[in-house]
Amino acid sequence: MLSDAQPRLLIIGGPTGAGKSAIAVETARLLDGEIVSADSVQLYRHCDIGSAKPDAAMRRAVPHHLIDVAEPDRPFTLADFRAAAADAIDGIVARGKTPIVCGGTGLYIKALLEGLQGGAQSDPSLRQELLLMPLPQLYARLRSLDSARAAVLHPNDRHRILRGVENALLPKNNAPPTPSAYNFVFFIIAAPRGIIYRRIEERVDAMLAGGLLDETKALLARYPADCKPLMSVGYRQAVMHLRGELDADDLAAEIKKATRHYAKRQITWFSSVRGGIWINAGAPVTGGAAAFIADYFKGQKGRAT
């Protein structure tokens, strides 16, 4: 049992298409809460449609944090997220509100709960040198330093290639995971796979109809195509189409396929969470799920295990 002096924290995670954002907003209304986003793309400015950011109505209804906090071409590390999320949670608690972490980037949540720093220590001078290096040269450097890591990365994935080089060259943050600073309950929103896949198809169709290609064009006019958010699912395929590497007829199908694969990886990750409380959101049960989560959270004094 954790100390009552530790901040109480509610976590709502799960794969894309499970409906966690709507459930988190309704839960926040019931608990007088504020939401801290744990999404590795929503934190970037100007990446609205492709990251499926909570819409304006949701953000008016409930304060959201860690959305639109970084420029797409600037690094935002695991340690950056951990520090920013901890600051946001401290502010929410100080206002007498309930902090609710919601998102599908499992490693972000793990970093927050266990104090993970993420890979190599930072070195601004090396980072600047690597940012100026042509991508083929950077990839060749990674191959010479860590051929196994290079083999599993796309040659155009600058962000992960750069981090691979840094991890090979710099001292590691070897501090072991620490006991959580929070008295937390971890809910995982799920649904039958067929329902998630249908929602993914509907979401991708809505993104394309809502202007994903125009948004991607605007991003490419300001930022390099190999910046982190433009390498994410949806944006990557849109960039390929705009470059003539992917036919219009295949664009939606490729995004849907990549998103399904991503959802599978998320489900695998969340399945490994110890003490996670699973909720089946296969039907339109947003209100019911939120009420259950809120009631459970209000009735708990310690962390669910």
Cβ partners under 8 Å of residue 45, min gap 6: 68, 69, 70, 71, 72
pLDDT at residue 286, rounded to an integer? 54
Output the pLDDT for position 177: 54
Report domain extents, the chain. Answer: 8-118+174-299, 124-169
Task: Give every CB contact of residue 54 below 8 A, 6+ residues apart in sequence.
Answer: 21, 25, 35, 37, 64, 67
DSSP string across 155-209: TT-HHHHHHHHHHHHS-B--PPP---SSEEEEEEEE--HHHHHHHHHHHHHHHHH
Q: What is the pLDDT of residue 179?
A: 63
Report the top-level CATH class of 8-118+174-299: alpha beta
Give the pLDDT score at 154: 81
In this predicted structure, what is the pLDDT of residue 305? 35
| pLDDT for residue 72 | 95
The pLDDT score that the predictor gives to residue 77 is 85
Q: What pTM did the predictor assign? A: 0.81
Dist CA 28 CA 141 (whole Å): 47
pLDDT along the chain (305 residues), means of 10: 71 94 95 97 97 92 96 88 95 97 94 70 74 86 87 81 82 60 93 93 97 98 92 96 95 97 94 92 71 91 43
Q: Where do we find the tokens 């919601």?
A: 102
User: Which pLDDT score, from 0 to 100, does residue 304 have?
Assistant: 38
Alpha carbons 24 and 95: distance in angstroms, whole number: 19
What is the Cα 124 distance to its own chain's centre?
24
For residue 174, the model assigns a pLDDT of: 54
Q: Kindly report the three-state secondary structure assignment for every residue of 239-298.
A: HHHHCCCCCHHHHHHHHHHHHHHHHHHHHHHHHCCCCCEEEECCCCCHHHHHHHHHHHHH
